Structure formats: C-alpha cells, structure tokens
Amino acid sequence: MDKLNLAIVGATGMVGRTFLTVLEEMNLPLGNLVLLASERSAGQKVLFQGNEIKVEELTEGSFDRERFQYALFSAGGSISGIYAPVATRNGITVIDNSSQWRMHEEVPLVIPEINRKAIGEHLLISNPNCSTIQSVLPLKVIHDLYQVERVAYTTYQAVSGSGQKGVEDLLGTREGKAPSFYPKIISDNCLPQIDVFLEDGYTKEEQKMIEETRKILDNEKMKVTATCVRVPVLNGHSVAMNVTCKREIDYEELARALASAEGILYYETDYPTARDAAGQDQVLVGRLRKDESLHNSLHLWCVADNVRKGAASNAVQILKSIWEERR
C-alpha cells in the first residue's frame, strides 16, 4: 500500500485541527482523508492541502476499511470507549488521544522517543496525557543514568488543555463574565483542580500522571506524586519536577545527556517558558539544579506545546512509526 488512508475522529476540535496542521507539516503520503465529528459539525467544510473536505457525522457505519485503514481519535473518552472497538474490529489501526484506554493492560501507551517498540502489532495504541508526555521525556533520560526512585511533579497547565471550552472560559472571565467551564474563575487565578476529585483527595489528572509515568517507564514500583494546577495561560504546559535517584548524579553528564536526547531542547543557561514552546514539537528543559535538601536529588523545569507534543504531534509520530514499519 503506497498511500496512507486516514480518518480523524474529532476533526473539528482543538486537537483534531492540530492533527491536520501536523499532518501537513510531516508530509505523510495521505490518500483518503475522512473527517468525522458530531452531528453539530456534519457538513462543515475544512481546507486541507488546498482541497475542501466535508466533515461527516460519526456513526458505527463510519469505520469502513475500504475507505481508511488508520484512525486518529480525539473526541473524548466516551466516544473512544464506544467507537475504538468498532474500528479495531474492522481491522482499522486506532491511535487514541483520550484517557479511555491508556491503562488497559493490552493497550500500549506510547511516546515514540521512549517506547516506540511497544507498538508491535497492536491495533489500538494510546497517546499519554499531555503533562505526562512532556515530563516523562526528561525523566527517562535521568532514569537511564541514575535510576529514579521518586519524582514529584507540580504542573502549571494551560486552558487549551481543556479544548475549546477552556479557552472560551479564560477569555470570558477576563472580560468579567461568570465561569462557563471551570469550577472557579480562571482569569488572574490558579486552580489546583484538573478533572474531578477522587476519594483519596487527588484529582484524576494527578492520578493519570502517576499511573502513566509508571506504565511508560515499565516500573510499577517508582514513587510518583503530582499536584496539577490550571493556570490562566492560553497554550503551553509547564512542569516543575523534583527527582530523587538511587545513584549519585553527575550534573555535567546529565546536562550532556539532556542536550543530546531525542525530542528535548535543553537550556543550559537561560530557561524556557510556555511561550517559547508554542508551535514546537520538542520539550524544552531548563533550570537543572541540585536539590540540597535531599540526597541524590534534583530540580528541573520543562515546558511543551500541550496541543502539539502533548497530543496531536505525539499521535502523528506514532502513526508515522506504524506506517514506516507496517506498509
């Protein structure tokens, strides 16, 4: 097969539209491109590489292997829960951006720079959570050198991570309107709540970071904790990481390893901000320093474009890997 026939589920959303941008940039040999969304957007026309493509309503009948053999899903967990199995039953390879299948033991959770081999022959592959992707990239470099024993994440997550509704709420509350999506006013504020609270007092976003880190690094025993905070930034997540290792850290060696790692842009002197990450697919890492309060411990800061590397670009990179392996 010399053409990649592809469907995008959730094509009109924030991640869905970014899939199109990234696909254009990566120049994959696309054949059919089928755009699927809810009945609200059916009939809308989307411009891709100079051609107008009509958005179709997602139904069970959408998954016809004669039309496409690959699908990128980004329409939320409940849609993935219903339709990803329909697609795979029909022999279509699905890369799912929602949290629905990430912790399923038969579904690989993939960051291509780290574990592209886990894809194997699977028909359903999950894209990790946005803040997990950008954090685990540098964490893996540290882990390979000094064996991570514990990591504590504190995140500063942009409203684009909640899709269109998050962006509209920030813009609205900046103008003095009442919150339309978040539980409290997000403008000029920080909300230590992302997703719902669980019985143990953590939020679901924090639980995702903890469980997904262990799954990607294939290390059930790693001590991981997180506090996830929504901040009034339009796009780009930031994460402060405090890491304790089993072995003694050589900071010059670590800086060299970070500077040469695939997918990372290392800032030796200056520090990166969320704005620097906009439009990039690399994770920007800086402020590496010794934590003087704990043995074998360090601090690190990382930023990434959550809609690109945290979602669309990572998924398209998985697609590219599969296409190169299987065609």
Q: How far is the CB of 259 from ligand NAP (least distance, A)?
A: 27
Q: Tell me the one-letter amino acid at 277.
A: A
CA dihedral 216, 96, 327, 116 (to 10 degrees): -10
295 is catalytic: no
Task: Locate 301 and state its tokens.
Answer: 């800061």
In the bound state with ligand NAP, the residue whose beta carbon lies nearer, of 245 and 311, is 311
- The answer to whether the Cα torsion of 153, 154, 160, 162 is positive or negative is positive
Is residue 88 packed enough to be buried (19+ CB in 10 Å), middle (13-18) or exposed (0-12)?
middle
130 is catalytic: yes
In the bound state with ligand NAP, the residue whose beta carbon lies nearer, of 19 and 70, is 19
- Nearest to 289, CA basis, from 299, 280, 281: 299
Q: Tell me the one-letter amino acid at 214.
A: R
* H/E run at residue 84: helix 77-89
Q: Which is catalytic among the residues 122, 143, 228, 237?
A: 237
- Nearest to 114, CA basis, from 137, 131, 96: 137
Q: Is 14 annotated in some ligand binding site?
A: yes
Contacting positions for ligand NAP (CB under 6 A): 10-16, 37-38, 40-41, 58, 74-77, 79, 97-98, 130, 160-161, 163-165, 306-307, 310-311
In the bound state with ligand NAP, the residue whose beta carbon lies nearer, of 158 and 298, is 158
In whole angstroms, what is the distance from residue 255 CA to residue 219 CA?
Answer: 24
Q: Is 98 annotated in some ligand binding site?
A: no
Q: Is 161 annotated in some ligand binding site?
A: yes
Q: How far is the CB of 163 from ligand NAP (least distance, A)?
A: 3
Q: Which residue is nearest to ligand NAP (CB)?
A: 13
Task: Locate 227 and state its tokens.
Answer: 């506090």
Q: Which is catalytic among the residues 130, 228, 245, 302?
A: 130
Q: How far is the CB of 208 from ligand NAP (least distance, A)?
A: 10
In the bound state with ligand NAP, the residue whose beta carbon lies nearer, of 108 and 163, is 163
- First-last CA distance in the chain: 6
Q: How far is the CB of 156 from ligand NAP (least distance, A)?
A: 14
Binding positions for phosphate: 102
Binding positions for substrate: 157, 230
Binding positions: 12-15, 40-41, 102, 157, 160-161, 179, 230, 306
Enumerate the active-site residues: 130, 237
